[in-house]
Structure 1
Amino acid sequence: MNDNWLKRNHKAANEYMDTVCQESTLTSRHKGFTKVPHKILRCYGLSEYEKLILIDIIAYMSDKNLCYPTIETMARDVGCSSKSIERHVAGLSEKKMILVSQDRKNNTYYLPSYLHTHPYLLMSEKTHEFIGNVRKNVNERELTLWVQGIVKSDEYKAFTTRLQKLHDGRFIPKFAEQEILESFAQHLNSELAKRFPPDVNGQ
């Protein structure tokens, strides 16, 4: 297909998504859209299903601050078993990415008030920032494997826990989050040097 034709006839993605949402010639069940920050979509430390379920919950909230879809509804939406939904919802709750009020019929879901500075998002963004600074200097496939190991490491969890404890307290000391994240960046530098040591010429 000719590149010039594509440029002339294709809209920018965000604009085209509006068209996709509004199209109802043949079906009209899902005409809305969900605003999902890239920080959530690309968050390290959340599994694929945790991301999908969190996005589904946000979609059900829409212009409200709570929602109560059934486990079975989310299982159909996401395409997994109800037991998987229960397990991943528990994981999101444990990570405090969502707040769950249990009821005899349906759970009610809320978002934490500090989601914009949530430890999982802060740690993930700091990792992305670090990757952006080093990715051209190392083998990218090896870098991907290294990052996956970093995110699963006890050290990564420990830094995330330190950030979470700040939010669990009554107030957050000034610069406390920044200091933890800078310490984490130093840890990444140290671990990267172990995985990708400079050659004998220091290159």
Structure 2
Amino acid sequence: MGERTVRFRKASPLLAGGFAQLPRVVTRAGRRISPMAKITFATLLDYAWQDGFCFPAQERLARDIGTNEKSVRKYLAELQALEMIEVKKQGRGLHNVYILNDTAPVLKEVQKELEREMDERG
């Protein structure tokens, strides 16, 4: 096995607190998914990791990713248009529930491209 090019020096309290990961099909989607929509998706994944769904307030998402609620709504709308998330409204005063869709067409398209690349190397 080859030597890793990214390594951690030692166990860190920052890393021990956990971290969010993005599936390769999201990071390799290029311009099909905007960079901030990718970060928003990663943040939703971080919240949903245990149960497969999450319900952070848009205010909380904005604070987490360093933007405002209007921008968060724009990124969420992009993810919805790409069918990467489904938003279930819970009613007035309640947070929306975000359901993550790992079978979105854009993700399947990127997966096929990655598989072709692997076959060509093969």
Report the alpha carbon displacement of residue 16 of structure 1 after superposing the two structures with TM. Answer: 2.1
Match of residue 124 from structure 1? 110
Asked if the contact 2:82/2:104 (under 8 Å) is kept, the reply is no
Which consecutive aligned stretches of 4+ in structure 1 deviate over 6 angstroms post-superposition? Answer: none
Do the aligned partners of residues 124 and 18 (structure 1) sit closer, same or farther apart at CA in structure 2, a change above 3 Å counting?
A: farther
Give RMSD over aligned pairs. Answer: 2.9
Q: Which runs of 5+ in 1 are unaligned?
A: 1-6, 134-203
2:73 is aligned with 1:86: yes
Match of residue 168 from structure 1? none
The structure carrying a bigger helix percent of its residues is: 1
Report the alpha carbon displacement of residue 49 of structure 1 after superposing the two structures with TM. Answer: 1.0
Cα distance in structure 1, aligned partners of 2:107 and 2:28: 9
Match of residue 24 from structure 2? 38
Across the two proteins, how many residue pairs are aligned to each other? Answer: 113
Give CA-to-partner distance per residue, 1:138-161, whole Å, 9 cap, x none: xxxxxxxxxxxxxxxxxxxxxxxx
> Which structure exhibits the higher relative contact order, with contacts defined as CA atoms closer than 8 Å and separated by 6 or more residues?
2
TM-score (norm 1): 0.47
1:5-154 matches, cutoff 5 A: 13=6, 16=8, 19-20=11-12, 23=13, 31-44=17-30, 45-103=32-90, 104=92, 105-112=94-101, 115=102, 117-127=103-113, 129=116
Do the aligned partners of residues 72 and 12 (structure 1) sit closer, same or farther apart at CA in structure 2, a change above 3 Å counting?
A: same
Q: Which runs of 5+ in 2 are unaligned?
A: none
TM-score (norm 2): 0.75
The structure carrying a bigger strand percent of its residues is: 2
Asked if the contact 1:39/1:125 (under 8 Å) is kept, the reply is yes
